[in-house]
């Protein structure tokens, strides 16, 4: 399962308590989940300047607390996304 989020202002990733619980429950069941965040840094005015950050479901509590200060599993510039690497990261967790 891949949850998609967009952060255009600040560094907080909007995750509800239900979303956090979902990722934790599935992590306990050894069902891999991920959160893929498209992040617009302050200087990014267009999607071309944004980043994609991939977080594992096990990181969801820290992601909720720390936001984008948490180290992602993988990170790519939007214009340089290696889609095959994203696919591989999803398959290997």
Considering only CA atoms, which of 78, 66, 72 is closest in space to residue 41? 78
Q: Of residues 69 and 83, which shows the higher confidence score? A: 69
The tens digit of pLDDT for each residue in 14-37 reads 999 999 999 999 988 888 999 999
Residue 66's Cα: distance from chain center in Å?
A: 12
pLDDT value, residue 93? 61
The tens digit of pLDDT for each residue in 35-47 reads 999 999 988 878 8
Average pLDDT on 42-64 reads: 91
- pTM of the full predicted structure? 0.89
- Cβ–Cβ < 8 Å for 60, 40: no
């Amino acid at each position: 399962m891949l949850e998609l989020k967009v952060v255009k202002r600040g560094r907080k990733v909007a995750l509800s308590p239900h979303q956090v619980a979902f990722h934790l429950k599935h992590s306990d069941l050894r069902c891999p989940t991920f959160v893929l965040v498209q992040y617009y840094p302050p200087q990014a005015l267009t999607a071309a300047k944004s980043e994609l950050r991939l977080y594992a479901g096990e990181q969801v509590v820290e992601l909720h607390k720390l936001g984008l200060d948490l180290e992602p599993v993988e990170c790519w510039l939007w214009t340089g996304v290696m889609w095959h690497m994203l696919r591989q990261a999803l398959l290997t967790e």
